Chain A
Amino acid sequence: MNEVANTLDARGLTCPLPILKTKKAIASISSGEILEVMTTDPGSVKDLDAFCAQTGHQMVSSEQPDGDFVFQIQKL
């Protein structure tokens, strides 16, 4: 597991809130650090991939360990 600089709990939120809150949370960490995001919205899986592709941040991992979705995003 990577060391996580900040964690965002976006569970229970729907489009577009997980993306908007991820954008804000990523502003709070430094380049190269990792943000962990937790969501329950199934649409957030592809949306966060698209967010990373567009903004240049890297999706390090995208998993669903116990029901919720957990993402690790490395800041550009």
Chain B
Amino acid sequence: MNNTAEIQDMSVNELNRWFDQRFEEKITEREADHTPAMTIISTKGTLDQAYPPFILASTAAALGWDVSIFFTFYGLSLLKKNMNLKVTPLGNPAMPMKLPSGPSWMKGKEVSLPTSVMSLMPGFENMATSMMRKTMDSKGIARIDELREMCVEADVKLVACQMTVDLFEYSKDEFIPEIEEWVGAASFLPKALKADVNLFM
């Protein structure tokens, strides 16, 4: 339908039909060319809460999406060279406290003390963390440093919050060199605006 004369000869109905069809084709073309994008805001620094951002980011990258994660407040711990992440059941009553090993009558049994009582025990957090790590290892769950490495390899953009570093008086040497940039909210929001998926974690 390149011929001007042919267009002039068309009735309004024909012209509308032609336009609708062409519009549909163009939209489909654009959708096919579009690379999906995702932005994540990561705010938590415990072993359990480190999983969602890295799992979703690495998977989205594997699906061919453009991904950036903005790490702020405790989320910034996930970018440290030495992560040493911990997990605590205190204030988290949904977390199962099951012994990952030991005699058969103990293994897999839920420890039924209230977490507020358990937390009075010295070394409680280290014990809970060690139990969680053992359970994860035995189930073939990826380690956080492994997932982070896969994110870096897959070109996930790791963006760090400048204000958090100043607030907690961190030194930038404590963090992995793969961090793309140190910025504030105003630099991150325009990326989020263009993304198809925005998640706060």
Contacts and interface: CB of A to CB of B under 8 A. Distances in A.
A19 B140 contact: no
A55 B59 CA distance: 12
Contact of A20 (B62, B139, B140, B141): B62
Interface in B174-196: none
A15 B136 CA distance: 12
Interface in B121-155: 139-142, 147, 150, 154
A12 B150 contact: no
Contacts of A22: 62
B58 interface: yes
Interface in A1-30: 12-17, 19-20, 22-23
Interface string B52-75: 000100110011100000000000
A33 to B, nearest CB: 19
Interface residues on A, range: 10 to 19
Nearest to B36: A54
Contacts of B140: 12-14, 17, 41
Contact of B139 (A14, A16, A51, A55): A14
B63 A51 contact: yes
B8 to A, nearest CB: 42
Interface residues of B, number: 13
B58 to A, nearest CB: 6
Contacts of A51: 62-63
A14 B136 CA distance: 10
A15 B63 contact: no
Nearest to A54: B63
A15 B154 CA distance: 17
A68 to B, nearest CB: 13
A74 to B, nearest CB: 17
A6 to B, nearest CB: 17
Interface of B: 55, 58-59, 62-64, 139-142, 147, 150, 154
Closest 4 CB pairs of A and B: A23-B62, A16-B59, A54-B63, A12-B140
Given A19-B62, A20-B154, A55-B63, 5 more contacts: A14-B139, A17-B140, A20-B150, A23-B154, A41-B140
Interface of A: 12-17, 19-20, 22-23, 41, 51, 54-55
23 contacts: A12-B140, A13-B140, A13-B142, A14-B139, A14-B141, A14-B142, A16-B58, A16-B147, A17-B140, A17-B142, A19-B62, A20-B58, A20-B62, A20-B150, A22-B62, A23-B62, A23-B154, A41-B140, A51-B63, A54-B63, A54-B64, A55-B63, A55-B64
